[in-house]
Amino acid sequence: MRLRRKGGGDSWSRFFWCTLFVVFSCVLFTGFTFSSFRLFFGEKYKPLVVPAWRKPAMEAVSGESVAPRAISVREVVIFPDQAVAFLDYPPSARLLTKEDLHCAYFLAKSSEPQLELPPIAVDGEDAHDQIVRCPLQSHDARVALRLRSDGGVLSGPTHKWDSLVYEALIDHDNTTVVFIKGLNLRPERVSNASKFECMYGWDFRTSKFLLRGEVLSIAQEIVRCETPLSVLSSGAYGGNRSVKVSVRVKGGGLIFHSIAQPTHKLAASSGRSKAHDMCVCTMVRNQARFIREWVMYHFKIGVERWFIYDNNSDDDIETLIDSLNDAGYNVSRHAWPWIKTQEAGFAHCALRARSACEWVGFIDVDEFFHMPTSIDLGEVLRNWSASGSVAELRVSCHSFGPSGLKQAPRQGVTVGYTCRVAHPERHKSIVRPEALNSSLINVVHHFHLRDGFEFVNMDRGVMVINHYKYQVWEVFKDKFYRRVATYVADWQEEQNVGSKDRAPGLGTRAVEPPDWSSRFCEVQDTGLRDRILRVFANPQTRILPWQERDGDDDDNNKNRQRGCA
């Protein structure tokens, strides 16, 4: 009897401890599982979606160790002439180069590529913003990347460029500034924010795990959203890069496709003096050969910092900018693959420049500030800064023509082109970025300002812009073939034929008019040319600094230019 009770006690004891172990294990497992799904409550998450047709994860390309997860293509965006793939890197992985990759093209239901081509470019020096640009062969084919080393295929979801949330920034007030294509809102007007809402999450195919944010303002391509506190507390703009933001029309509207991760927290303007009195923002496509003259000239008159938004250039602009920085000029390049988004790019630049620049000018690389009386740009800005309420200087543009030339002038545009249209065309702006309206509305290079601030039209005797718009045919044709402006994507297509973005009388024919070299010549204007030759030219050789490749280095040129009267 005692033996039976003893055995029964052992059995009960074993049952009790086994049950306790199972319960404890379940609690641990359940806690771990639920913690992994805490999307916005302080827990970090990094889900990885791998398409079914993708090959097994590749080994780390560093050659030293196996990465915790594979390099992948986060998103692919299809443009009219190329596909842009956004890469997602694991920690410590080596950045891929153009030599590491092929662009692979898959037909429907095909698991093997039908064609492989080298990339146009691999852009970006940071694992968080590297992109691969591939030539587009067919809008029906899937575009992926194949690693040359092991044949592994990198792929991701595909989106069309013209209906997409493509950029997002967390502003200093914790709102999210969202850039979106496809809303088709009226230009230069604030739209009804109550009709829209912002959505935060990582998978917009279902609203189950999404958070909503109120739309505070919406205009053109820019939406300002109230960022949910849980998104801010999760550090989405810092360590957790999986959270994306999108926009939805209320009342059951579809959520826009999005590749925008709000990953940058912008600094507020401090009360102290900023690092730079005058900065310039511009957007370019294949304009590298003109940038040296543009930067060196504007440095002389007082510009201290340049923000260049590169709209898919393939003319080795990176090397040119590196050489300018090596010479001491403060020039940064920002890859901006989004076409027909110049106003949005300028708004993006204004936000980035706000904490460092008192004033920011928005001009193209064929536009040059000119002070006819030789007054210093810094003096002009200081005078208007003292007013307190003036936050935008609108500067008239004089449009110059080919001036009788058949070939691009060797000494640069400021010396070569001396004949212009009589009356100004449009204006461009210099603004105080902290005074911009929160909607960031800007049209034709001028912004809306906050209440209490005003603009002034600059006296053309004090400051004007020489716009070398209609250059020799070779240059003009390239400029208007695939320009970055909003309204004309390709001047050979029948789009907005009457727009001022087109040259009067050019039409849509890719043929040089017989009288092109003499067009747009109503007034001889040699004011800037004369100053350039007097101030910049080498006294012995008469060579201008942007012509010099050998001999004097750029540092000596730069010091000499600062000393010129």
The two tokens of residue 52 are: 């079914």
What single-letter amino acid sits at 540?
Q
Q: Which of 136, 159, 182 is the last residue of a domain?
A: 159
* Best-predicted range by mean pLDDT (39-43, 162-166, 264-268): 162-166
- Residue 189 sits in the same domain as residue 136: no
Quick one: 172 and 137 in the same domain? Answer: no
Least confident of 109-118, 203-212, 504-513: 504-513
The one-letter amino acid at 44: K
Contact present, 216 and 438 (Cβ < 8 Å) = yes
Q: What's the DSSP call for residue 525?
A: -
Final residue of a structural domain among 108, 136, 159: 159
Q: Are residues 357 and 427 in the same domain?
A: yes
Q: Give me the phi and psi of 4, to 5 degrees please.
A: -65, -40
Closest among 363, 344, 313 to 482, alpha carbons compared? 313
Half-sphere exposure (CA, 13 Å, Cβ side) for 390?
16
Contact (CB, 8 A) for 256 and 283 = no
Considering the domain architecture, whether residues 414 and 342 belong to the same structural domain is answered as: yes
d(CA 378, CA 438): 27
Question: How, if at all, do strands 446-447 and 442-443 pair?
Answer: antiparallel
Q: How many structural domains compose the chain?
A: 3
pLDDT single digits (tens) 474-484: 898 877 665 43
Tell me the mean pLDDT in the region 4-27.
49
- Other residues' Cβ atoms within 10 Å of the Cβ of residue 513: 14
Tokens coding 49: 């979606």
Residue 140 maps to a domain: yes
DSSP H/E element including 164: strand 164-170
**3-state helix/strand/coil string of 80-118:** CCEEEEEEECCCCCCCCCHHHEEEEEECCCCCCCCEEEC
Structural domain range at position 520: 276-535
Average pLDDT over residues 543-557: 63
Question: Is residue 231 in a domain?
Answer: yes
Looking at the fold, whether 181 and 282 belong to one and the same domain comes out as: no
Same domain, 118 and 207: no
Question: Does 247 score more than 60 pLDDT?
Answer: yes
Contact residues for 247 (Cβ-Cβ < 8 A; gap 6+): 165, 178, 180, 183, 196, 197, 198, 199, 215, 223, 255, 256
Instruction: Count other C-beta atoms under 10 Å from residue 508's C-beta.
Output: 12
Average pLDDT over residues 274-281: 96
CATH code: domain of residue 510: 3.90.550
Under DSSP, is residue 472 helix (H, G, I), strand (E, B) or coil? coil
| Residue 178 burial class via C-beta count within 10 angstroms: exposed 0-12, middle 13-18, buried 19 and up | buried
Task: Classify residue 510: in a domain, yes or no.
Answer: yes
| pLDDT per residue as tens digits for the range 349-406 | 999 999 999 999 999 999 999 999 988 899 999 999 988 899 999 999 999 999 999 9
Q: State both tokens at 427.
A: 């204006």
If asked whether residues 432 and 284 sit together in one domain, one would say: yes
Tokens of 63: 């050659």
- Does residue 420 share a domain with residue 287? yes
Confirm if 176 and 105 have CB atoms less than 8 A apart.
Answer: no
- Residue at 341 is within a domain: yes
Ranking 80-84, 205-209, 368-372, 440-444 by mean pLDDT, the lowest is: 205-209
CATH number for the domain harbouring residue 143:
2.60.40
Domain identity same for 366 and 502: yes
Write out pLDDT tens, residues 324-352. 999 999 999 999 999 989 999 999 999 99
- Judgement on whether residues 122 and 143 belong to the same structural domain of the protein: yes
Copy the structure tokens of residue 31: 């806690």
Q: How far is CA 479 from CA 177, 284, 461, 470, in A?
A: 30, 10, 30, 10
Cα separation, 363 vs 135, in Å, equals: 30
In angstroms, the Cα distances linking 324 to 121, 278, 369 are: 21, 18, 20
CA distance 393 to 380: 10
In sequence order, what DSSP letters do the residues of 237-289 get, joined into one string? TTT----EEEEEETTTPPBPPB------BPPPPPSSPPSEEEEEEEEESS-HH
Which residues of 189-243 form beta strands (DSSP E)?
196-201, 211-219, 222-226
Domain membership of residue 50 (yes or no) is no
CA 293 to chain centre: 23
What's the rounded Cα separation, in Å, for the pair 48 and 46?
Answer: 6
**Residue that the structure tokens 């097994």 belong to:** 56
Pairing of strands 175-181, 164-170: antiparallel
Neighbours of 270 (CB within 10 A): 8
What DSSP designation does 208 have?
T
C-alpha 342/C-alpha 284 separation (Å) is 10
Where does a domain end: 159, 182, 212?
A: 159
Q: What's the pLDDT at 454?
A: 96
Domain check: are 449 and 528 in the same one? yes
Are both 239 and 292 inside the same structural domain?
no
Provide the pLDDT for residue 501.
Answer: 53
Specify the pLDDT at position 53.
Answer: 30
Question: Could you tell me the sign of the dihedral formed by the alpha carbons of 298, 360, 220, 245, in that order?
Answer: positive
Q: Which tokens is 238 given? A: 């810092």
- Neighbouring C-alpha atoms within 13 Å toward the C-beta of 470: 29
Percent of the chain with pLDDT over 90: 59
Residues in the chain: 565
Question: Residue 523, SS3?
Answer: strand
pLDDT band (50, 70, 90) for residue 195 = very high
First to last CA, the chain: 116
User: For the chain, what is the largest distance between any 2 Cα atoms, rounded to a whole number of angstroms?
Assistant: 123
What is the C-alpha to C-alpha distance for residues 298 and 366, in angstroms, rounded to an integer?
A: 12
